[in-house]
Amino acid sequence: MLSYTPNPERVVAAAIRQCRSSKGADVIYKELTDEDIKRLIRLCIKMGHLSPIEHASFTFLIEGISRVTSHQLVRHRIASYSQQSHRVVDLKNADFIIPPSIASNAEARKIFEEIVGYARRGYVKLVKMGVPREDARYIIPQAVETSIVVTMNARELLHFFNLRLARDAQWEIREMAKLMLKEVFKVAPTIFEEFKKYLES
């Protein structure tokens, strides 16, 4: 995690209480006890009164994921993204993510590595011929590694974790979501407590 709203749960709880208080959120922010914060956040999530949860935002640097996974990630629209550009960055030494089902099977791994090697050599040749990188990249497999900076607010993260920690999500985005959860859980354990079981498994 690169950055996050300072005291995210206190900010969220102050926003919740301010909805039904004559006091300003600045005063409430200072007065709230740790117990108040937990209780207010739990109540708010239980009621489905989720807009105050949006006041806490989290920014992640995600590295070492495939383009397959970054594509799945950016389908989540309530977020901000800055992705490494393969129009600009040279892919001749790029790394590729090998799914465990392929890595654990010698024959499958051989096929994967042959195709990736072939594509990489083709890319290098095209660039040497004067083809721009932005066009040469069309022959690069989706397994190619990428990096991306992502900002999501806590409400969107709750939704994202619901979908992407679930069993039917793909292994790579599940692993990534679990690492993101591990980070946010350190600073906002009450907001994300429904997902605690994923950190224990």
Kindly state whether residue 169 participates in binding ligand FAD, applying the rule CB under 6 A: yes
How long is the chain? 201
Cβ 165 to ligand FAD shortest distance, Å: 10
Kindly state whether residue 74 participates in binding ligand FAD, applying the rule CB under 6 A: no
Kindly state whether residue 200 participates in binding ligand FAD, applying the rule CB under 6 A: no
Position among 93, 168, 200, 201 found at the interface with ligand FAD (CB under 6 A): 168
- In the residue annotation, 164 being an active-site residue is answered as yes
Number of amino acids touching ligand FAD (CB under 6 A) = 9
Position among 20, 77, 167, 197 found at the interface with ligand FAD (CB under 6 A): 77
Q: Which is nearer to ligand FAD, 37 or 73 (CB)?
A: 73
Q: Where are the beta strands (DSSP E) in 56-195?
A: 57-66, 80-83, 145-153
Q: Where are the beta strands (DSSP E) in the chain?
A: 3-4, 57-66, 80-83, 145-153
- Specify the 3-state DSSP secondary structure of 56: coil
Cβ 31 to ligand FAD shortest distance, Å: 33
Tokens 């495939």 sit on residue: 66
Kindly state whether residue 163 participates in binding ligand FAD, applying the rule CB under 6 A: yes
| Piece of the chain touching ligand FAD by CB under 6 A; list 74-82, 86-94, 117-125, 187-195 | 74-82
CA 167 to chain centre: 17
Kindly state whether residue 167 participates in binding ligand FAD, applying the rule CB under 6 A: no
Distance in angstroms (rounded) separating the CA atoms of residues 68 and 57:
25
Kindly state whether residue 78 participates in binding ligand FAD, applying the rule CB under 6 A: yes
Residues 6 or more apart in contact with residue 154 via CB below 8 angstroms: 8, 12, 53, 54, 55, 56, 57, 58, 184, 188, 191, 192
Q: Are 173 and 73 in contact (CB under 8 A)?
A: yes
Kindly state whether residue 76 participates in binding ligand FAD, applying the rule CB under 6 A: yes
The binding site for ligand FAD (CB under 6 A) comprises 75-78, 156, 159, 163, 168-169
Indicate which residues carry an active-site annotation.
Answer: 164
